[in-house]
Amino acid sequence: MVFRVEWTGADAMSKRAFVFVLLNLLIGLTAPAHAQAPFKLRIASVNSPPSMHTLYMRVAQEEGIYKRNGLDVDEVISLTSGPLMTQALASGHVDVGDTDAEGVLNAVASGFHLAVVAAPSQHLSYVVMVQPDIKTLKDLAGQPFAISRPGAQSQYLLFPLLDEAGVARNAVTWVPIGGPSQRRLALTNNRVKGALLHLDYALAAKRDSNVVQLDRVARDNPDYPHQMLVVRKELIEKHPDVVTAVTRSIIEACRFMVANRERTIDIYMKASGETDRNLVSAGYDALLSIHGFGVNGGMTRKGLEVVSKLAVENGAKSIPIESWSDFRFQEEALKQIGRVAE
């Protein structure tokens, strides 16, 4: 997959950042006035420590974006994996979170009342990282490969690559390890031969060991969204204005991240505990190069159709896209703050 990049070079990046800074100033001027007290909202983010690609929840908190949009968020709760996020949302322990699209689809098919409203991580940033003796995907046959759990995104996103290479899905020894941080450690400690990792985790793994990159998941899934913004349908029914406000907040956070490189890196280093600024900078630049942040919300019909197709291929129940998604809030947020060039 080749991502179209509209600007290149330091001058062009500065120009784009300047445009986003001006836009953020205008957003501040056009922020809606809230006569009522801020709405108390419980927000969680997947991955602990966080990935740069899913940092928008914390950026919105650190930069006062939630507050500016009339939301009272005490803290961003950290959860270690997508399945835990889905469970927390379904049980009502949190109101808003970010997780993989197929996890939401399966939860709704099982009777849980959730909906995706945006895709702040709009393109996949997963890479297949392996021990150096693994030269091709065929070499993974019979080898241990780290996943969070059976049926998780860290497993099923590898299926199209295995199918293409002629490797049976059950030929790989799938080892449930946990979230991306745990999978990275399992790989660098040579407990497994491969793992699917976020870009920044992959860079850290290469720094800490002799593992190598074998492939990129986005090559076979260019339209598949990395993470979705998910809300409880009860919140949609009772407080649709709040859903618009949180959707707008996350879009604004994505725009802030694109416009404010050094501040975003600072926030990431604080949240993750990573001390290697050069490594973090490389991860940030890589995500920017693939237009990884949903500066216009990121959720598209085409992307959700790809999710549904892959989910059914993986044995999920086929359900209408409208049953687990709601585009109204992304559209309303963009009416308020306008679209920007990506």
Domain boundary among 219, 244, 277: 219
User: What whole-number percentage of the chain has pLDDT above 90?
Assistant: 76
Say yes or no: 45 and 157 in one domain: no
Say yes or no: 47 and 64 in one domain: yes
In this predicted structure, the answer to whether residue 337 has a pLDDT above a threshold of 70 is yes
Q: Where does residue 18 rank: exposed (0-12), middle (13-18), buried (19+ CB within 10 A)?
A: exposed
- Residue 24: its pLDDT value, please? 52
pLDDT tens digits, one per residue of 31-79: 554 447 899 999 999 877 789 999 999 999 999 999 999 999 999 999 8
- Residue 23: its pLDDT value, please? 52
pLDDT tens digits, one per residue of 150-176: 888 899 999 999 999 999 999 999 999
Average pLDDT of span 286-292: 94
Q: Tell whether 282 is covered by a domain.
A: no
- Residue 37: its pLDDT value, please? 87
Q: Tell whether 333 is covered by a domain.
A: yes
Measured distance CA(240)–CA(180) in Å, rounded: 33
Say yes or no: 227 and 209 in one domain: no
Name the strands in the sheet holding 127-130, side by side, starting at the edge strand that comes first in the sequence: 173-176, 144-147, 194-197, 127-130, 212-216
In this predicted structure, the answer to whether residue 123 has a pLDDT above a threshold of 50 is yes
Q: Tell whether 329 is covered by a domain.
A: yes
Measured CA distances, 96 to 62, 63, 210, 250, 272 (Å): 17, 18, 38, 11, 21
In this predicted structure, the answer to whether residue 325 has a pLDDT above a threshold of 80 is yes
- Residue 20: its pLDDT value, please? 54
- Residue 41: its pLDDT value, please? 97
Average pLDDT of span 176-184: 90
Measured distance CA(215)–CA(25) in Å, rounded: 40
| Among 300, 320, 326, 119, CA closest to 243 | 326
Quickly state the pLDDT bin for 322 (edges 50, 70, 90): very high
Q: What is the CATH number of the domain that holds 44?
A: 3.40.190.10
Say yes or no: 184 and 136 in one domain: yes
* Mean residue pLDDT across the chain: 89
Q: Tell whether 119 is covered by a domain.
A: yes
In this predicted structure, the answer to whether residue 12 has a pLDDT above a threshold of 50 is no
* Helix (H/G/I), strand (E/B), else coil: 147: strand
Q: Which comes out higher in pLDDT, residue 143 or 1?
A: 143
Domain boundary among 194, 219, 244: 219
Say yes or no: 231 and 119 in one domain: yes
Q: Tell whether 281 is covered by a domain.
A: no
Handedness of CA 83, 86, 88, 91 (dihedral sign): negative
Measured distance CA(172)–CA(323) in Å, rounded: 34
Say yes or no: 304 and 198 in one domain: no
Q: Nearest 5 degrees, angle CA 4-CA 229-CA 94?
A: 160
Say yes or no: 161 and 27 in one domain: no
Domain boundary among 219, 236, 253: 219
Say yes or no: 101 and 196 in one domain: no
- Residue 222: its pLDDT value, please? 84
Q: Is the peptide bond before 180 cis (omega within 30 degrees of 0)?
A: no
Say yes or no: 69 and 147 in one domain: no
Average pLDDT of span 127-156: 94
What sections of the chain are H helices per DSSP?
A: 9-30, 56-62, 65-68, 82-91, 101-109, 153-156, 159-165, 180-188, 199-208, 233-238, 240-259, 261-272, 277-289, 301-313, 328-337
Say yes or no: 56 and 22 in one domain: yes
Q: Tell whether 319 is covered by a domain.
A: yes
In this predicted structure, the answer to whether residue 329 has a pLDDT above a threshold of 50 is yes
Q: Tell whether 3 is covered by a domain.
A: no
Cα-Cα-Cα-Cα torsion 196, 143, 84, 122, nearest 10 degrees, comes to 20
pLDDT tens digits, one per residue of 74-121: 999 998 878 889 899 999 999 999 999 999 999 999 999 999 999 999
Contact 69, 250 (CB under 8 A): no
Average pLDDT of span 204-219: 91
Say yes or no: 144 and 55 in one domain: no
Q: Tell whether 306 is covered by a domain.
A: yes
- Residue 335: its pLDDT value, please? 98
In this predicted structure, the answer to whether residue 254 has a pLDDT above a threshold of 60 is yes
Query: What's the domain range around 147?
Result: 127-219
Average pLDDT of span 130-153: 94
Query: How many domains does the structure of the chain reveal?
Result: 2
Say yes or no: 108 and 240 in one domain: yes
